Homo-oligomer: A and B are copies of this chain.
Amino acid sequence: MKINENYLNLQESYLFSTIAKKVTDFKAANPEASVIRLGIGDVTMPLTGSVIKSLHAAVEEMGNADTFRGYGPEQGYDFLREAVAGYYGQHGTVIDSSEIFVSDGAKCDVANILDIFGQDNKVLLPNPVYPVYLDTNTMIGREVGYIDANMENGFLPLPNKEQQADLIYLCSPNNPTGAVYSKDDLKLWVDYANAQDAIILYDAAYEAFITDEDLPRSIYEIPGARNCAIEFNSFSKTAGFTGTRLGYTIVPQELIRDGNSLNKLWMRRQSTKFNGAPYITQRAGAAVFTPEGLSEIQQNLEYYRENASIIAKGLDELGIWYTGGKNSPYIWLKTPESMTSWEFFDFLLEKAWLVGTPGVGFGANGEGFFRLTAFGNREQTIEAMDRIRKIW
Interface residues of A (CB under 8 A from B): 1-5, 7-8, 10, 42-49, 51-52, 55-56, 59-60, 62-65, 68-72, 104-105, 107-108, 111-112, 115-121, 132, 135-136, 139, 166-167, 197-199, 240, 242-245, 257-258, 260, 262, 265, 268-269, 272-281
User: In the complex the two chains form, what is the Cα distance from A243 to B132 in whole Å?
Assistant: 28
Residues of B within 8 A of A1 (CB): 117, 121, 166-167, 197-199, 257
Number of copies: 2
Residues of B within 8 A of A273 (CB): 107-108, 111-112, 132, 136, 139
User: In the complex the two chains form, what is the Cα distance from A34 to B245 in whole Å?
Assistant: 40
- 6 A-B residue pairs with CB within 8 Å: A1-B167, A2-B257, A4-B116, A4-B118, A68-B243, A136-B272
User: In the complex the two chains form, what is the Cα distance from A257 to B274 in whole Å?
Assistant: 28
The reply to whether A268 and B10 contact each other, CB–CB distance below 8 Å, is yes
Residues of B within 8 A of A244 (CB): 62, 278-280
Given contact pairs A2-B121, A46-B64, enumerate 20 new A-B contacts (beta carbons under 8 Å): A2-B257, A3-B116, A4-B116, A4-B117, A8-B260, A10-B268, A43-B70, A44-B68, A46-B65, A47-B63, A52-B62, A56-B59, A68-B243, A70-B240, A70-B243, A107-B274, A108-B274, A115-B139, A139-B272, A243-B279
User: In the complex the two chains form, what is the Cα distance from A86 to B242 in whole Å?
Assistant: 28
The reply to whether A63 and B42 contact each other, CB–CB distance below 8 Å, is no
The reply to whether A70 and B118 contact each other, CB–CB distance below 8 Å, is no
CB distance from A356 to the nearest CB of B (A): 18
The reply to whether A71 and B242 contact each other, CB–CB distance below 8 Å, is yes
User: In the complex the two chains form, what is the Cα distance from A69 to B44 in whole Å?
Assistant: 8
Residues of B within 8 A of A265 (CB): 3-4, 7
Residues of B within 8 A of A135 (CB): 272
- What residue in chain B is nearest A165 (Cβ atoms)? B1
Residues of B within 8 A of A243 (CB): 62, 68-72, 276, 278-279
Beyond A1-B257, A56-B56, A139-B115, is A44–B62 a contact (Cβ under 8 Å)?
A: no
Beyond A243-B70, A244-B278, is A7–B116 a contact (Cβ under 8 Å)?
A: yes
The reply to whether A59 and B55 contact each other, CB–CB distance below 8 Å, is yes
The reply to whether A245 and B276 contact each other, CB–CB distance below 8 Å, is yes
Residues of B within 8 A of A120 (CB): 2
Nearest 7 A/B pairs, CB to CB: A2-B118, A111-B273, A42-B70, A52-B63, A46-B68, A69-B243, A70-B242
User: In the complex the two chains form, what is the Cα distance from A8 to B104 in whole Å?
Assistant: 27
The reply to whether B242 and A3 contact each other, CB–CB distance below 8 Å, is no
CB distance from A219 to the nearest CB of B (A): 16
- What residue in chain B is nearest A375 (Cβ atoms)? B70
User: In the complex the two chains form, what is the Cα distance from A181 to B139 in whole Å?
Assistant: 35
Beyond A104-B275, A115-B4, A265-B7, is A68–B47 a contact (Cβ under 8 Å)?
A: yes
- What residue in chain B is nearest A197 (Cβ atoms)? B1
Residues of B within 8 A of A269 (CB): 7, 139
Residues of B within 8 A of A65 (CB): 44-46
